[in-house]
Amino acid sequence: MSAIERYWHARFDGRRDEGAYTLFVLIFVFALFLMVGLSVDGGGRLAAQARADDIAAEAARAAGQAIDLPQAISGTADVVDPAAAQAAAQAYLADAGANGTADVVNGGHAVRVTVHLTYRPEILGAFHFGPWPVTGTATAQLLTG
């Protein structure tokens, strides 16, 4: 056995691979945790988006029922009362625990509601991702006839 071989065997004593899998396992576990986090928190964000859209649609429907009665009774116009529509939408948003705005558009024939929610990731939050803002918008058209 040469001097280099004796040094090599004395130095490493046949344990050259010791700890080689530790780094691989750590990287694999981190990647697996990240993939699970993306799927869970991605689904959670989509659910929050759907909830924001649903709240906006219901608030717009509530606001669309605030018809301007004097104009409707006299037959001059079938439009919503802007102040009553905004109050109805804000009341619905408050009951749902959401923040948002309501605007009367199209000459009083429609109400547009925008809802702002925040999704806080459950798993990716550990990696300091989020919170993510989520916005839902819906328009209720006043139909008469």
pLDDT in tens, the chain (145 residues): 677 776 666 666 656 566 678 888 999 999 999 899 999 999 999 999 999 999 999 999 999 988 887 887 787 888 888 999 999 999 999 999 999 999 999 988 999 999 999 999 999 888 888 899 999 999 999 877 6
Q: What is the pLDDT of residue 76?
A: 80
Q: What is the pLDDT of residue 13?
A: 61
The span from the CA of 57 to the CA of 63, in Å, is 10
Q: What is the pLDDT of residue 134?
A: 97
Provide the number of structural domains found in the chain. 1
> What residues form DSSP beta bridges with 118?
133
Contact of 70 with 84, CB cutoff 8 Å: no
Q: 103-138 burial, b if ≥16 CB within 10 A, otherwise e?
A: ebeeebbbbbbbbebebebebbeeeeebebebebeb
Print the domain residue range for 104: 3-141
Q: What is the pLDDT of residue 8?
A: 61
- What pTM does this model have? 0.77
Q: What is the pLDDT of residue 142?
A: 86
